[in-house]
Amino acid sequence: MEWTETQAIKAHCEELVLNFAVLNDTRRYDEVAQLFAPDGVFYRPLAPQKAVQGRAAIVEDLRRKPPNLHTIHVCTNILVTVLGSTQARGISYFTVYLHEEEPDAPWPQALKGTVYVGQYEDDFALVEGRWCIQTRRGTNRFYLQQGAKA
């Protein structure tokens, strides 16, 4: 495989990782689901043993987020390994801030919630000419709750 093809695959997969974060944080769940293959599987970091399979199930699962809960995912250390012209594997670290919004308070608001740090392990696949997430496994490594002592 040519170097340029490998780099293009890596770029597509890295973009999937970043789009997942932004679309999830902005509650664009139908678009999040489109990042997955039609039979894609998502293991949430808060429920890493529970497989959520298929785009419709992923949307339904993500919509469980309470309306007053805001999230910001920060993704770093995105490393993609190309396995072939139709498969790649990736790992990335995340920090996610969960904030319980005060409805009438002005922004910015003091963080009221939890911060999680963890990683995603992704299997990517080329499906009908488009790179998708085939499987995404999230794992929380540690967390900080509001009021926790350093």
> The CATH number of the domain where 21 resides is what?
3.10.450.50
The sign one gets for the Cα dihedral 85, 59, 115, 98 is positive
Q: Give the tens place of pLDDT for each residue, 102-126.
A: 888 888 888 889 999 999 999 999 9
- Pull the structure tokens for residue 116: 């999680």
70: DSSP letter: E
CA distance 46 to 39: 21
- Pull the structure tokens for residue 79: 């490393």
- Residue at 150 is within a domain: no
Domains identified in the chain, total number: 1
- Pull the structure tokens for residue 54: 């298929």
- Specify the pLDDT at position 149: 44
pTM of the predicted structure, to 2 decimals = 0.92
- Residue at 46 is within a domain: yes
- Residue at 24 is within a domain: yes
- Specify the pLDDT at position 117: 98
- Boundaries of domain holding 111: 3-145
CA distance 31 to 80: 22
State yes or no: pLDDT of 148 exceeds 70.
Answer: no
